[in-house]
């Protein structure tokens, strides 16, 4: 029997149908509003995309400038004179990287709080204390009129873009998100960014602070074991009162210990073409946008191509039609902490040679977005700023000040402008005399067949008996620096018999060199591998240079895995630990993405350090223990040789340290990657993303600004393919920020990778287009005489 259908009054049914219709209309309306909002948001965002074709009126110019943008987003700027060239370069840098330039000058100047708020007050205090901007102002005063003109022309170009973009409401979207607009650009801004790069690469005051802490808080023998080592028989390039270190530097901004590089040059006697080869890959922070901007600059008497920091004119690394050059960080001791004794009756006076000297007190008010202005003061002694109490006046009678070459007046841009035009080694070396900070290992190759090397920069001469390992008494004149190593005495090498020169932040000179350079060098593994390849091969070509830059051979593992295995051969291990050891013994010692062995080895080495140090060195002080890898390596070598090491002995001996750390490593890895060891892969942990600075603010911003998923990548901090990482997350955050190779038989053609891309605008086709190239080693070609691409014309005022 059929049930009688439920009765629904007509009126009620009509109401339901009307409500559905209304709901549909409301939903449709909201979607339409959303679509319109997205349309206008998209239109707004697209307005700030760089213009690469057509014409732009630039009244500041004397003559027309053409800009050809090639298929990889590289601008080739052609001007009839220097003035027009640098105005155009400033404009183009601004339309590609204005937000990056803004953040860079604010970070270096200590003014981020003005746009970010209270979260970065301590960071601003630190950079105000260092005084990078004050140093830039001092530097500007000693620049030549020609140098000042270039800086002003560049600033004029930047300001021309900013004025147009502000007036037409097409500044990059990041300014809207930050709720700010950029102030006019000045020559001091460019020089301040240059000083920041000196900070990023500058020296080792933090290791002096750590050594001081160790001597005051550990047994003397144990403390001395932690002092820097450079292993014997490893290659060189050329043959008064205790201070609370932990709290004093709690908020210090410490550069990444891995900031270094690889470079090398090969004589034509060892190459396929008979002409020199050059390769360079500076290792810096990996982020979006890239720290580098690739450009070509051409006038009637100059044609130079390469990379430059956004916000700075010229080309700092690259080649012209006659020469090519590259750098790595020398890492000399150019930063010295001085212990200063303060007058207990006058906090602004400090002892020197039995007299109280008045320090300079500098007002540095910090304006805070959404907050009150902080009346902050910096105290500078004869040596430099007091850095041990930058977060506030501790009231102590003993403090630490910093003497640092980069805080002097220096002239790096003058050097860049000269080497851009150099045609041979003599002209290039003459230009380098003005490149003072940071001290760099320059390698050089020219079309005439010359290869050369110079450890260039202002390197202090220490008093007899001092070796820059500890803070020095600031009240004794005999502890002052004795000037700087004379320019003609700096380490140099030209056309060596072995047919190549390579540097990888390793030790520069042997013990016969009469001057002190540094106590802290990079572990020698990258250099050893580079020298192994270059020394054993002939008929080398530019593809071989690219392959070597992507080489993942781990010589640290090649050294230590057999030693560890021998130490543990009679030790009872669990099944998984024994399998892990077997896998390591079968390894070809390449840190490749698909291998399990790099995952095991690098975590094992981290586990060893954790056992040795974590119980006795506070985490805040560990941050000052820079370049500790070489110290750990030497402690392990000593113990394996049977020599005494308190750090090893107090943890049960070398067998116990190795066994326990291996067990801890495997337990942690099993928890993260499962029981099947053979299925583990280095690339499951070791990944790169190139984070944008705003991506950490909110996941929505991360979605737009980090528009690629993290990519598995090979290499590590000890392989020629440099890819240092955060050990907590595996995120690769430091490495080859630019890769470059050239065969000088064809000076028109350079091979480049700029990870993750050329542009700073997230909707540009060149934003992240080189991210996969960076991972896989796919180089693009840039030519001095490029003829294909989009053409933009800058027109002067009629």
Q: What separation, in Å, do the N-terminal and C-terminal C-alpha atoms of the chain show?
A: 95
Query: Is 333 one of the annotated binding-site residues?
Result: yes
At 521 the three-state DSSP class reads coil
DSSP symbols for 692-733? -TTTTT-HHHHHHHS-S--EE---BTTSSSBEEE-TTT-EEE
Structure-token pair, residue 723: 């890819």
**107: three-class secondary structure by DSSP:** helix
Rounded Cα distance, 471 and 464, in Å = 15
The region that residue 457 occupies, defined by phi over 0 for left and psi between -120 and 50 for alpha, beta otherwise, is left
546 with 741: CB under 8 angstroms? yes
Those residues with Cβ within 8 angstroms of residue 299's Cβ, 6 or more apart along the chain or in another chain: 78, 79, 80, 81, 82, 85
DSSP states of 357-406 = EEPEEEE--B--TTSPPB--EEEE-SS-BB-TTTTS----SEEEEEEEGG
Question: How many CB atoms are located within 10 Å of the residue 538 CB?
Answer: 11
787 phi and psi, to 5 degrees?
-120, -10
Give yes or no for a contact between 171 and 139, defined as CB atoms under 8 angstroms apart: no
The sign of the dihedral angle between the CA atoms of 215, 218, 219, 224 is negative
DSSP three-state, residue 455: strand
Phi-psi region at 367: left, alpha or beta (left = phi > 0; alpha = psi -120 to 50) = beta
* Residue 546 to residue 281: CA distance in whole angstroms: 10
CB-hemisphere CA count at 13 Å for 219? 7
d(CA 420, CA 415): 9
CA-based nearest residue to 378, from 193, 119, 134: 134
Q: Verify whether residue 267 is a known catalytic residue.
A: no
Task: List the 492-494 sheet strands across, edge first.
Answer: 54-57, 790-795, 65-69, 75-78, 292-299, 302-309, 317-320, 323-329, 440-446, 451-456, 492-494
Let me know the angle formed at the C-alpha of 696 by 694 and 697, rounded to the nearest 5 degrees: 70
Give the DSSP per-residue string, 257-291: TT-EEEEEEE-GGGBSSSS-EEEEEEEEE--SS-S
Distance from C-alpha of 282 to C-alpha of 750, rounded to nearest angstrom: 16
- 346: which DSSP letter? E
User: Which residue in the block uniquely carries the two structure tokens 């572990």?
Assistant: 523
CA angle, corner 406, sides to 402 and 412, nearest 5?
Answer: 180
Q: Which of 190, 261, 388, 446 is an active site residue?
A: 261
SS (H, E, C) 564-614: HHHHHCCCCCCHHHHHHHHHHHHCCCECCCCCCHHHHHHHHHHHHHHHHHC
In whole angstroms, what is the distance from residue 493 CA to residue 62 CA? Answer: 44
Asked whether the beta carbons of 202 and 404 are under 8 A apart, the reply is: yes
The alpha carbon dihedral of 433, 436, 439, 443 has a sign of negative
Roughly what angle, to the nearest 10 degrees, separates helices 575-586 and 555-568? 140
Copy the structure tokens of residue 103.
């953040």
Query: CA nearest 554: which of 521, 599, 515?
Result: 599
* Nearest alpha carbon to residue 391 among 129, 5, 176, 618: 129
Paired residues of 442 in beta bridges? 327, 454
Catalytic residue list: 261
Provide the annotated binding site: 333
Provide the annotated binding site for Ca(2+): 333
């Amino acid at each position: 029997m059929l049930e009688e259908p439920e009765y629904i009054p007509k009126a009620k049914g009509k109401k339901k149908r009307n409500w559905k219709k209304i709901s549909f209309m409301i939903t449709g309306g909201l979607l339409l509003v959303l679509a319109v909002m997205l349309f206008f948001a998209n239109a707004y965002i697209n307005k700030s995309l760089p213009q690469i074709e057509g014409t732009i009126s630039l009244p500041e110019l004397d003559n027309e400038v053409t800009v050809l943008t090639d298929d990889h987003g590289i601008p080739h700027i052609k001007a009839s004179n220097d003035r027009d060239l640098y105005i155009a370069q400033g404009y183009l840098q601004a339309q590609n990287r204005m937000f990056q330039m803004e953040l860079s000058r604010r970070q270096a100047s200590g003014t981020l709080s003005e746009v970010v708020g209270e979260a970065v007050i301590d960071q601003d205090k630190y950079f105000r204390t260092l005084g990078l901007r004050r140093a830039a102002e001092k530097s500007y005063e000693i620049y030549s009129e020609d140098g000042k003109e270039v800086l002003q022309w560049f600033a004029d170009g930047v300001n021309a873009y900013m004025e147009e973009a502000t007036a037409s409401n097409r500044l990059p979207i990041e300014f809207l998100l930050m709720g700010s607009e950029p102030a006019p650009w000045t020559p001091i801004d460019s020089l301040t960014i240059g000083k920041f790069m000196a900070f990023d690469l500058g020296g080792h005051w933090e290791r002096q602070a750590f050594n001081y802490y160790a001597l005051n808080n550990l047994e003397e023998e144990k403390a001395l074991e932690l002092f820097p080592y450079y292993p014997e028989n490893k290659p060189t390039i050329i043959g008064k009162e205790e201070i609370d270190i932990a709290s004093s530097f709690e908020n210090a901004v410490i550069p990444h210990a891995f900031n270094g590089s690889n470079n090398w040059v090969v004589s034509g006697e060892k190459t396929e073409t008979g002409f020199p080869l050059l390769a360079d890959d500076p290792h810096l922070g990996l982020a979006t946008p890239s720290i580098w901007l690739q450009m070509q600059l051409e006038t009637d008497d100059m044609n130079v191509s390469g990379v430059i920091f956004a916000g700075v004119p010229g080309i700092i690394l690259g080649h012209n039609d006659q020469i090519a050059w590259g750098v790595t960080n020398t890492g000399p001791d150019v930063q010295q902490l001085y212990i200063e004794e303060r007058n207990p009756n006058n906090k602004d006076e400090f002892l020197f040679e039995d007299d109280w000297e008045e320090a300079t007190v500098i007002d540095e008010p910090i304006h805070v977005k959404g907050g009150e202005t902080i009346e902050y003061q910096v105290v500078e002694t004869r040596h430099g700023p007091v850095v041990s109490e930058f977060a506030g006046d501790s009231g102590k009678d003993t403090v630490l000040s910093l003497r640092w070459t980069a805080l002097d007046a220096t002239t790096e841009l003058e050097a860049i402008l000269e080497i851009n035009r150099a045609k041979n080694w003599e002209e290039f070396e003459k230009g380098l005399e003005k490149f003072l900070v940071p001290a760099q290992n320059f390698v050089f190759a020219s079309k005439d067949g010359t290869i050369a090397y110079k450890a260039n920069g202002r390197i202090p001469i220490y008093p007899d008996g001092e070796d820059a390992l500890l803070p020095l008494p600031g009240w004794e004149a005999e502890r002052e620096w004795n000037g700087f190593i004379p320019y003609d005495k700096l380490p140099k090498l030209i056309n060596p018999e072995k047919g190549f020169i390579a540097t990888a932040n390793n030790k520069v000179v042997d013990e016969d060199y009469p001057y002190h350079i540094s106590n802290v060098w990079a572990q020698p593994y990258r250099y050893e591998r580079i020298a192994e390849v270059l020394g054993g091969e002939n008929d080398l070509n530019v593809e071989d240079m690219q392959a070597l830059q992507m080489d993942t051979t781990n010589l640290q593992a090649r050294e230590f895995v057999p030693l560890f295995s021998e130490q543990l051969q009679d030790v009872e291990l669990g099944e998984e630990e024994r399998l892990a050891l077997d896998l390591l013994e079968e390894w070809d010692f390449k840190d490749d993405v698909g291998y399990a062995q790099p995952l095991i080895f690098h975590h094992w080495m981290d586990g060893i350090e954790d056992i040795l140090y974590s119980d006795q060195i506070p985490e805040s002080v560990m941050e000052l223990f820079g370049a500790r890898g070489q110290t750990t390596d030497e402690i392990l070598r000593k113990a394996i040789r049977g020599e005494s090491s308190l750090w090893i002995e107090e943890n049960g001996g070398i067998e116990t340290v190795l066994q326990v750390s291996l067990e801890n490593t495997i337990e942690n890895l099993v928890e993260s990657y499962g029981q099947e060891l053979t299925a583990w892969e280095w690339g499951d942990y070791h990944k790169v993303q190139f984070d944008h600075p705003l991506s950490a603010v909110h996941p929505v911003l991360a979605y737009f600004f980090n528009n690629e998923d993290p990519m598995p990548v090979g290499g590590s901090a000890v392989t020629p393919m440099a890819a240092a990482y955060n050990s907590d997350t595996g995120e690769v955050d430091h490495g080859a920020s630019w890769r470059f190779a050239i065969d000088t038989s064809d000076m028109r053609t350079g091979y480049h990778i700029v990870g993750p891309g050329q542009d700073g605008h997230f909707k540009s086709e060149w934003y992240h287009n080189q991210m996969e190239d960076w991972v896989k080693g796919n180089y693009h070609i840039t030519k001095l005489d490029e003829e294909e691409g989009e053409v933009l014309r800058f027109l002067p005022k009629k």
